[in-house]
Structure 1
Amino acid sequence: MTNLTETGFGYTDGDVDQNIHNTGPTLNELADQRYSRRQTLQRGGAAIVAATMGGSVLAACDSKTEELTAPTVNAGSAATTASGRTVTLTGTGAAEAYSWTQVAGPAVTLSSTNALTTSFLAPSVATATKLTFQLAAANSTGTAGISTVEVTVNPTALGFTAVAKNKNDVVTVPTGYTVQIGARLGDPITGSAAAYKNDGTDTGFANRIGDHGDALFWFGLSTTGTRDETSSTRGLIVQNHENINQQYLHTAGATSPGGVRPEAEALKEIECHGVSVVEYSEGASRAWTFSSTSTFNRRITPNTPMVFNGPVKGSDLIKTPYSPTGVAGRGTINNCANGYTPWGTLLTCEENWAGYFRRSGDNAARTAKELTALSRYGVTSSTGSYGWSTVVAADTANTTFRRWDARATGASALADYRNEPNQFGWVVEIDPYAPTSTPRKRTALGRLGHEGCWPGKFVAGTKPAWYMGDDSRREYLYKFVSNTAWVATDATATDRLAIGDKYLDAGTLYVAKFAADGTGSWIALVFGQNGITAASAVYPFADQADVLVNARLAADVVGATPMDRPEWTAVNPVTGEVYLTLTNNNAALRPLNGTDAANPRHYNDPYGTAGTAQYGNPNGHIIRIKETSTESLTFTWDIFAFGAGADLDATNINLSGLTADNDFSSPDGCWFGRATNASGLVKPIMWLQTDDGAYTDVTNCMMLAAQPGTVGDGGARTITNTGTGGATATQATRIGAAPGASLKRFLVGPVECEITGVDSTPDGRTLFVGIQHPGENGTPAAPSSHWPDSQATGTAGATIRPRSAIVIITKNDGGVVGL
């Protein structure tokens, strides 16, 4: 025990509790002194109590001093925690007033300063760091006591027990977490839409949440409704709506009498695509709701007016009857992954758009060059995915449906919609804070099957870059580098789309080439360079607009590395390393003798009880690259993790040593925690989501959390691949360190879903996750999932139709999700 005297007191760092009996000055005397942090340490915690108890206690301070049992303090069962976790300090004692203060370590915010119990969120630290807290107590006679406690905070670590694989019709999360349901397919987001019946009779989807919710992003709002990047309780969620479960949108499924789609059905399907902007807020007891009437709410559909920006604007290649000058278009479709800008806008990406168009039988009316481009992008369907072009509109001037017929039937491109496919496949910038603004298609970033457009680290004075996968087997990884170096003050500009003009309309598009030795290079896709000329035997390019419209062909010319279906890109906010999910490949497109170091596996993972063969790379992998800056033209690379069942051959297939706690297949969504909280600092969490067909005989799709190392933390490996008939071949590759316990399964979704889309509030305490197309293989009469209605109990009515929706996940103790 240490006595408090006028000459001060001390404490020993190793003591968890330090009880002090006060024989020193009265509270009146202490109250006359300043209560600075230094004076508090010198004069004792009774001064703090005096300041908090106020005059009612001070009036009795000249009474005879009485004995007070000083409080003891503890931080639960242990005084050790990790960054991002909630710590509760609980004092005990028999006093009339208490006061908590922090006296050492990185500053934290205490939930209460004048009660026996207080709590705080452990700060982000790079090494074990001690925080010291002091509890002072006093009664009306002026006696006082002080007790201190130390809490050691370690760097971030995954703080949950792995979720087991399962095939339940619910979203399963670890113990200690709560799932809430956010906006669902069909939910009204304007006052003009009626409540959703979910029986196939609903209409008006331009005012409702669309189907197949995909990538999403949180944009904070202040209490007054202005942009606030720090807000974690009110904000806008912008979500893509990639595709549809067509059968559930209509009473008894889709119809096509006489081969002609009904107008009402087709309009419903079209409007279910696109993007939604919806306001969310946190209420009492951490209950989250979304507003159905917010003035920010908005649907952007394939019918929404758009403008073109960048080098392709005005090109003959995008001129249509709707925009004879080639400067405008209608809508966005098959929006999958996304990206963002630091000036507060969303980048939505048009992925597998080609199949929506009807185009065949017009080869004689096309040039050889056109046929090469149409074939390379897959614009070859004789009907279009949903037959929208067959609609005979009641209004003969309505071209909403006619535009999906891309056949060359007229005298020129201004007499038909032959160029309409060229209006899709772009990155589209949207300002969610300006609901009347017109989205802009940023053509400098190239026309692909865009799967994401994620920014690298922004450094003042350095040209920023965005990284993009092209979602199809044997396609490529791209990087766009702006011509303009980053100016930090542009992050707070109010004319956000104008800032987009500055950074996104002029720059260089590159494609990646991976070398076997773990190095790689970015090759510029610029007219007149690297064989991209009018003399190219692959495709005779006319100009830079032609290069960007036909970026895949330009990448073919320069010899880029074909990848195993490139999907999402994500950038580690600390290291700047770029991650690319490679979902899978098959034997037809990645044969036994067709592997390479960056796409090294060929094997069989038998499916189901029948053991159906799945040769190729059915489980996929995640590759990562390291650059010296976003402007770099070279990089190093390795493979962070290989998807595989835990029971597969550890020598040649399960190369990452996955176990029952972390085995996965077909990685797709990928995102790092925000740098505004502990999950995105020091050693950030990477969230990994699956879109799986190869492993669904074992489990529904899932989301995992990882804390990756760095490129080069593993080494070279040579594996033996296997093909049909027992054939084998060796392949050298580069493998990162086995993830071990730094990769865990956090969530398993409902039946037949895809887990896609993830973001958090800036404080990391709320996670938003997209659940896409549950029950996709069912029928209106017999849905194969009933989620989200099934979430509460695991079951629901036999005819209740499933709906894509957002889930909102919080940690019960208020900590950062995942830590």
Structure 2
Amino acid sequence: MSTQIHEDASRPGRRPLLNLLMAGRTHGKRSPVTCLYKCDNACFHPVPNTSDNPYFRDIASAALSRRAVLAGGAAAGALVIAGTVVGGADSASATTAQAVGKGGGRAFGFQPIAPVPADVDEVTVPAGFRWHPVIRWGDPLFDPADVFDPERQTAEKQARQFGYNNDYLDIIVEPNGKRAVLVANQEYTNFGIMFPPARSEEERLEQLRVTKAAHGMAVVELERRHRGEPWTYVVGGRRNRRITADTPMALDGPAAGSDLLRTVEDPTGRWVRGTLGNCAGGTTPWGTVLSGEENFNGYFRSAGTSASERRYGLSPSESSYGWEAVDPRFDARRPGYENEPNRFGWIVEVDPDHPDEPPVKHTALGRMKHEGANVIVGRTGHVAAYMGDDERFDYLYKFVSKDTFRSGKSAKARAHNKTLLSAGSLYVARFSGDSPIEEITGTGALPSDGKFDGTGEWVPLMIDGASAVPGFTVEEVLVHTRLAADAVGATKMDRCEDVEPNPRTGRVYVACTNNTARGTGSNEGATEANPRNDNRDGHVIEITEAGGDARATTFGWSILLLCGDPATNAYTYFAGFPADRVSPISCPDNVAFDSAGDLWISTDGAPGTIGYNDGLFRVPLEGPERGRVQQFLSVPREAETCGPVIHDTDGSVFVAVQHPGEDGSWDAQHSFFPDYVTPGSLAGGKWGGPRPAVIQVTRA
């Protein structure tokens, strides 16, 4: 790393901004800068989950009897979504899928690209496609006069511009097809490539304030003249909005008002300033957007003495960002601020159609390192929200609403549906395998039945607003959710990131990104649901709720993909599809679905595991091509692929390109995405570094 991002005695007031604990310790080519700012050097610290849950293999023997219970009910039944029965493709859509291109019967045809080496600073798309940026970090949202200038950024201006490092993304198109609204998370920031080194203490503090303003979310109106054309964003759009680390938000649900959420700034425990660490999310059937607050611990200094603080990775060390220097809330050691960390780690709901309405943090969905939440409406009208806790050896969760969904587009129905995540029941998953213990070797070799599979149960933590965990009040269950899940013996997973139900079948797909700590030291070894020790490449699990019911408390499961490069790893698995005919894939992160029900997977970490840039991949889930992974695009050097949105019937795919050129420095940038303007080529300026952006891929 350049010494620019360390202490520089020649510049008054210059203080170290980075503490690169992971330098030289990352796996493969994982950036130590990403480790610091995105997850507070999580791999450097001991695994937070030290609970003595029963090892998965200890309960595997019970699987055979439970498997009989699910027999005949494991196939997904039809689900009712907004009053429409969703099942297999009808004849018209099936005909359309067969007629498109070279997709092997898929709804979106393309020739897969070859893997792109990790040092290439380009966006690569299939032949016959092109890409363009829709919106970039620093683009003005409200006034064209808010021109982006990284050498003269202020917090006030950044709060009026598109934020940094987008993750979750959706493009919600209006019925006329000519207008839409884009909603994006802005997860974290990187001082070293965003700004020149501060020349004074005053300038350094303003840079801290700018990074606060660059976090959060953005809502932006889009327009185009005709369907199928590229979108452009609208400066000053009616719904344009920036949500930052200072935006007022409501707390609702059973824990709202709890003593555990009260601070000197909010003695009611019902309001909080800001959201941060916003990773993945989901768009609800009623048109709002959910955002998951993930690695919130890295923003706080805390006493670090309680069981809950330790379980969530809070410590007395200086925070990754140093915001405690400009905002007392982020030093939870101060009197009156001890509970401030408890006010983060929630699912946030935002209504993009109402820019003046405060976002809501839903305590009923529990507090954890939320990757996101994705909602489906079940056959009874109750909604289920599926959630992953993105930490090594943490858990998979489901929330089921107490009330039922109301169909229709009336304001009354929408208002009702916006209360569905405020009350209900919260569950955590316990998995059981059906193979003999000795056949789960930790290598990824398949057991004798030819697949990793079994049954599971949703263990209640809260039922209709009442605690289901002995010794925990409902407020404790929701604020200290990890401890409550420990107490009921949930299954330790390999970083459950995005968890999404397929809107066509109701089956649920869980992206387990990786876990290189599995099987090391005293950490739990391989289990049938997490079958590899030193799991560098990750896997994807397919879950089928019993009877196809979103309210079910039992499920069947199997591993769809055991990721990796088949050319170098014999123990990969692609739902039985021949491994020599797939694109190599590693570190699955976000997932999405197209109109044919195919799964799309974006990755985060492939450069460090298989040596290729991260990308976006399609995987058919039905028929003879089930499991055939095909790469659609590759993002630039040191970037991550986030928030895939698949509008295949419109000929478009969108992704958020996060942290391009992450390991560069102000004077030695590693990427020039998305405009590829090199230093010195701009009239009147030298700027030529990367700007995280949302891009659209269309047919050429």
TM-score between both structures, scaled by the size of structure 1: 0.66
Q: Is 298-307 or 284-293 further displaced after alignment?
A: 284-293
CA deviation string 1:295-342 (max 9, x = no partner):
211100010000111101110000011210111111111100001211
Q: C-alpha distance in 1, partners of 2:272/2:648?
A: 35
The corresponding residue for 2:352 is 432
CA deviation string 1:121-178 (max 9, x = no partner):
x9512799999xxxxxxxxxxxxxxxxxxx9x99536521111111321111101112
The corresponding residue for 2:601 is 688
Please state if 1:810 is matched with 2:675.
Answer: no
Q: C-alpha distance in 2, partners of 1:638/1:588?
A: 19
The corresponding residue for 2:498 is 568
Alpha carbons of structure 1 residues 479 and 623: separation in structure 2 relative to 1, 3 Å: same
The corresponding residue for 1:595 is 526
Secondary structure at the counterpart of residue 789 of structure 1: coil
Verify the 8 A CA contact 1:235 1:280 in the aligned structure 2: yes
Q: C-alpha distance in 2, partners of 1:488/1:582?
A: 33
Q: C-alpha distance in 2, partners of 1:618/1:696?
A: 6
The alpha-carbon deviation at position 649 of structure 1 amounts to 3.7
Alpha carbons of structure 1 residues 188 and 571: separation in structure 2 relative to 1, 3 Å: same
CA deviation string 1:495-544 (max 9, x = no partner):
5773245311110000011101211000000389997222xxxxxx2x10
The corresponding residue for 1:418 is 338
The alpha-carbon deviation at position 568 of structure 1 amounts to 0.3
CA deviation string 1:166-194 (max 9, x = no partner):
13211111011121111101111011752
The corresponding residue for 1:505 is 422
The corresponding residue for 2:658 is 772
Please state if 1:630 is matched with 2:550.
Answer: yes
Alpha carbons of structure 1 residues 130 and 280: separation in structure 2 relative to 1, 3 Å: closer
The corresponding residue for 1:482 is 401
Q: C-alpha distance in 2, partners of 1:127/1:283?
A: 25
Verify the 8 A CA contact 2:399 2:426 in the aligned structure 1: yes
Give the alignment of 1:343-362 within 5 angstroms: 343-360=286-303
Give the alignment of 1:415-564 within 5 angstroms: 416-456=336-376, 458-459=377-378, 461-489=380-408, 492-494=409-411, 498-517=415-434, 518-526=454-462, 532-534=469-471, 541=472, 543-564=473-494
The corresponding residue for 2:180 is 235
Q: C-alpha distance in 1, partners of 2:395/2:98?
A: 44
Q: Which of residues 525, 536, 539 is equivalent to 1:621? A: 539
The alpha-carbon deviation at position 245 of structure 1 amounts to 1.9
Secondary structure at the counterpart of residue 676 of structure 2: helix
Alpha carbons of structure 1 residues 570 and 498: separation in structure 2 relative to 1, 3 Å: same
Q: Which of residues 76, 89, 93 is equivalent to 1:124? A: 93
Verify the 8 A CA contact 1:474 1:589 in the aligned structure 2: no
The corresponding residue for 2:311 is 376
Q: C-alpha distance in 2, partners of 1:811/1:265?
A: 40
Verify the 8 A CA contact 2:97 2:108 in the aligned structure 1: no
Could you tell me which amino acid in structure 2 is paired with residue 385 of structure 1?
S
Verify the 8 A CA contact 2:518 2:524 in the aligned structure 1: no
Could you tell me which amino acid in structure 2 is paired with residue 643 of structure 1?
C
Alpha carbons of structure 1 residues 264 and 524: separation in structure 2 relative to 1, 3 Å: same
Alpha carbons of structure 1 residues 567 and 590: separation in structure 2 relative to 1, 3 Å: farther
Q: C-alpha distance in 1, partners of 2:575/2:106?
A: 26
Please state if 1:332 is matched with 2:275.
Answer: yes
The corresponding residue for 2:165 is 212
Verify the 8 A CA contact 1:179 1:808 in the aligned structure 2: yes
Alpha carbons of structure 1 residues 157 and 298: separation in structure 2 relative to 1, 3 Å: closer
The corresponding residue for 1:305 is 248
Q: C-alpha distance in 1, partners of 2:517/2:511?
A: 19
Verify the 8 A CA contact 2:381 2:405 in the aligned structure 1: yes
Q: Which of residues 569, 574, 586 is equivalent to 1:665? A: 586
List alignment gaps of at least 5 residues for structure 2: 1-90, 435-453
Q: C-alpha distance in 2, partners of 1:497/1:578?
A: 25
The corresponding residue for 2:257 is 314
Verify the 8 A CA contact 1:566 1:581 in the aligned structure 2: yes
List alignment gaps of at least 5 residues for structure 1: 1-121, 132-150, 222-229, 364-370, 392-400, 411-415, 535-540, 603-615, 674-679, 711-736, 813-819
Could you tell me which amino acid in structure 2 is paired with residue 436 of structure 1?
D
Q: C-alpha distance in 1, partners of 2:413/2:646?
A: 22
Q: C-alpha distance in 1, partners of 2:414/2:366?
A: 19
Alpha carbons of structure 1 residues 589 and 799: separation in structure 2 relative to 1, 3 Å: farther
Could you tell me which amino acid in structure 1 is paired with residue 185 of structure 2?
N
Number of residues of Structure 1 aligned to a counterpart in Structure 2: 578
- Structure number with bigger Rg: 1
The alpha-carbon deviation at position 574 of structure 1 amounts to 1.4
Could you tell me which amino acid in structure 1 is paired with residue 528 of structure 2?
A
Verify the 8 A CA contact 2:518 2:526 in the aligned structure 1: no
Verify the 8 A CA contact 1:431 1:496 in the aligned structure 2: no
The corresponding residue for 2:137 is 185
Q: C-alpha distance in 2, partners of 1:448/1:255?
A: 38
Q: C-alpha distance in 1, partners of 2:311/2:137?
A: 34
Give the alignment of 1:100-249 within 5 angstroms: 123-125=92-94, 155-156=105-106, 159-167=109-117, 168-191=120-143, 193-199=145-151, 201=153, 203=155, 204-221=157-174, 230-249=175-194
Higher relative contact order (CA 8 A, sep 6+): 2
The alpha-carbon deviation at position 646 of structure 1 amounts to 2.2
Q: C-alpha distance in 2, partners of 1:776/1:381?
A: 27
Could you tell me which amino acid in structure 1 is paired with residue 641 of structure 2?
I
Q: C-alpha distance in 1, partners of 2:192/2:524?
A: 41
The alpha-carbon deviation at position 293 of structure 1 amounts to 1.5
The alpha-carbon deviation at position 658 of structure 1 amounts to 3.5
The corresponding residue for 2:38 is none
Identity between Structure 1 and Structure 2 (%): 37
Verify the 8 A CA contact 1:479 1:511 in the aligned structure 2: yes
Verify the 8 A CA contact 1:196 1:202 in the aligned structure 2: no
RMSD over aligned Cα atoms: 3.1
Please state if 1:702 is matched with 2:622.
Answer: no
Alpha carbons of structure 1 residues 697 and 758: separation in structure 2 relative to 1, 3 Å: closer
Alpha carbons of structure 1 residues 632 and 703: separation in structure 2 relative to 1, 3 Å: same
Verify the 8 A CA contact 2:461 2:468 in the aligned structure 1: no
